[in-house]
Structure 1
Amino acid sequence: MVPACLDMLEESLVKKIEVMKNIEEENEKQKTLLKNPNEVDVEAFDKILDDKGELIDRLLKLDDGFQSLFDRVKDEVGDNKEKYKDQIKRMQEYIQEITGMSASIEAAEHRNKKLAEEYFSSAREKMNFSRQTSAAAFNYYQTMNNYRDVPPQFMDNKN
């Protein structure tokens, strides 16, 4: 029972590493996409966010499964550390790798957040400029329409 559970725990850690590598790939795609805020493909950006959301959901499910399984075998493994020494050592190495990847992903997310903020700021400025231009054109149009029926101002009324 316990060796099988440890195998499943180890497999869960390996799957978690694979999912985290996929998240790193999506972060790199996002970084490349956001590098030039004037040429962002919004559909591709949305797809990347959707894909990352799915990967994060898988990661959370793996974490929940790992924790529930670990809680079942924790006492048995703790009492027999010497018996499961090799598997424990491998899992510790996986956990160290996961910790390093987590830090790397967090840093990449932080960088991408800054790039996204720059993009949204640029887009907001463009919208404001367009709104101002439209308002100026509309005001000009209204002004010109009002002056259409203005009678001449300098007329000689002498007979």
Structure 2
Amino acid sequence: MLTSSLDMLEESLVKKIDILTRIEDENEKQREVLSSMDEEREAEFDATIDKKTELIDQLGLLDDGFQSLFDRVKEEIGANKDQYKEQIKRMQKLIEEITGKSASIEASEHRNKRLAEQYFSSIRQKMAQGKRSSAVAFNYYQTMTNFKDIPPQFLDNKN
């Protein structure tokens, strides 16, 4: 029973590493899209966010399952550490790998966040510039429509 539970815990960690690797890949795609972002690539950006959301949901399910299984066998593992020493070492290595991948993902998320902020800032500036241009054009239009109603100022009345 305990051996199969440990196998399931180890398998869960391997799946988590796979999902984290896929998240790293999506982060890299997102970085590439954000580096050359324009209106045509917004759909790609949205797709990477959707994919990452799906992967993060899978991670949450894996974590919940891992924790509940671990809570059930924790005492037995502690009592029989020597018997399961090799499997525990393998799981510790997997956990170290997960920790490294998590740190890498966090760093790439921060980089992507800065790129996204830069992109959205430039979009806001363009929108503000467009708004100012529209206001100037509207004021010009209003001014020009009011000029046609002004009667001539210098008229010769000698006839």
After TM superposition, the score normalised by the length of structure 2 is 0.96
Task: Using the aligned pairs only, state the percent identity.
Answer: 64
CA deviation after TM superposition for structure 1 residue 157, in Å? 3.9
Q: What is the alpha-carbon root mean square deviation over aligned residues?
A: 1.3
Aligned partners of 1:23, 1:37: CA distance in 2, in Å?
20
Report the Cα offset of residue 26 of structure 1.
0.3
**2:124 matched to which residue of 1?**
124
1:22 aligned residue: 22
Structure 2 CA distance, aligned partners of 1:70 and 1:56? 21
Gaps of 5+ in 1: none
Q: Write the distance in 1 (CA, Å) between the matches of 2:31 and 2:147.
A: 53
Aligned length: 159
1:33-90 CA distance string (max 9 Å, x none): 1113456611111111111011111111111110010000000000000111111010
Relative distance call for 1:114 and 1:44 in structure 2 (3 A) is same
1:148 aligns with 2:148: yes
Q: Report the equivalent of 1:3.
A: 3
* Farther-moved stretch of structure 1 (75-84 vs 132-141): 132-141
Cα distance in 2, alignment partners of residues 86 and 142 from structure 1: 83
Counterpart in 2 of 1:35? 35
SS in 1 for 2:153: coil
d(CA) in 2 for partners of 1:134 and 1:61?
A: 50
Counterpart for residue 102 of structure 2: 102
- The aligned residue for residue 65 of structure 1 is 65
Distance 2:74 2:58 in 1: 24
For normalisation by structure 1, the TM-score amounts to: 0.96
Alignment of 1:65-104 (within 5 A): 65-104=65-104
Alignment-derived partner of residue 115 in structure 2: 115
Q: Name stretches of at least 5 consecutive residues in structure 2 with no aligned partner.
A: none
